[in-house]
Structure formats: structure tokens, C-alpha cells
Amino acid sequence: MTILDIVTLPHELLRMKTEPVTQFGDELQQLIDDMIETMREAPGVGLAAPQIGRSLRLAVVETLPDYDEQGEEIEGTRDLYVIANPEVVWTSRQEVAGIEGCLSIPGYLGEVFRPEEIRIKAQDRYGRSFKLRLHDWDARIFLHEIDHLNGVLYIDRLTSKENFWTEEEYVAMMEEERGSEVAK
């Protein structure tokens, strides 16, 4: 497997609509394996094809694990998904704000509203159709990756333009908040 280069802003591919996946042969299998490896190495929870320089409606997503009482990751509680030609078929009206970052916009974080619950359909790595119903954080990751396939980035969806920080600013802000809670 190969670790692929992740393109960053202002790379033009990040702003383009991608092409449908039509060939599910060996070349695609290799690409998917490389994308999974690249996502894990980064590390990230999702990676879309334009981020590694390919104009394809293809992304990989790995959900967050469950943790035991000691805070250790419980093996086997991460779910890995390959989505080819995904479509969002339903979104809840209820939206939730959450913090997002992107491997193509390194060093920054922003607050984004996303639907609390979604339903999507997609094809797996072999072209078989499947449907998924996703909530909260999982829904957020999938929507972020599907946005990439349409040239949309989370910075286009900020809750306000002030709610965009460098990682250092965000960490400092969280520490300050924690401090003020203690002071109460």
C-alpha cells in the first residue's frame, strides 16, 4: 500500500465537482486501499478522492471508536466505510453545531451546523448498493466527505465567520472556558 499525498487549499481540485465512479476493478481497489492507509496515517476520520488528487465520487470514512472506563479504545468498535457515488436521500430538520477540521486545511478548525440525522445511499468498493442511516458525529463525517465530492469545504458552512480558529487558538479558548467554569 502507498501513502498518498494529500492536497491542500488552494488546490483547484478541492473546488471542483467530481466524476462518478464507473469502474470497480483492480485499479479502484488499489486506490481505495491506498486511501484507507493514507487516512489512518494522517490520521483522519475521512478522506475524499479529490483530496488525493483524483476527481472521483469516492470517499473513505472511519467512525470513532468506543472507549472503556480507562479511556482505552475498545478494539473492533470503529466502522470503516467505502462510499462510491454517495447520495444524501434524507436529512433531519434538526441541526447541531460541531467542530470540524479538514486534512486539506491543516492547522484550522471551525464550527459548522449539520443535520442531526441523515440517510444516504451509496455503492461499496465492489459497486454493490447500500443504504445507511447516520446520527450526530457519524452523520457529520459523511456529510463533510460528500461535500468534498461537490467541491464544497466546511469553511463554506461556518456558523459564523468568527467561528474559525487555528488549532492553537481553539485549544487556548477551550482552556479559558474550562478555567471560567472552575471559577464559577
Question: CA 179 → CA 78, 128, 168, 172, distances in Å?
Answer: 33, 51, 16, 10
Task: Please give the C-alpha separations between residue 26 and each of 12, 74, 102, 115, 129, in angstroms, as whole numbers.
Answer: 27, 33, 28, 35, 19
Instruction: Report the nearest approach of Ni ion to the CB of residue 139 (Å).
Output: 15
Nearer to Ni ion, 47 or 84 (CB): 47
CA atoms within 13 A on the CB side of 104: 27
The contact set with Ni ion (CB under 5 A) reads: 102
Name the closest residue to Ni ion (Cβ): 102
At closest approach, how far in Å is the CB of 179 from Ni ion?
Answer: 31
Residue among 56 and 102 whose Cβ is closer to Ni ion? 102
List the catalytic residue out of 72, 145, 169, 175: 145
91 closest CA partner among 150, 168, 49, 147: 147
- The span from the CA of 154 to the CA of 167, in Å, is 15
CB of 47 to Ni ion, least distance (A): 8
Whether 167 is a known active-site residue: answer: no
Q: Which is nearer to Ni ion, 102 or 149 (CB)?
A: 102
Write down the least CB distance from residue 90 to Ni ion, Å: 23
- Name the residue nearer to Ni ion (CB basis): 125 or 148: 148
- Just list the catalytic residues: 145
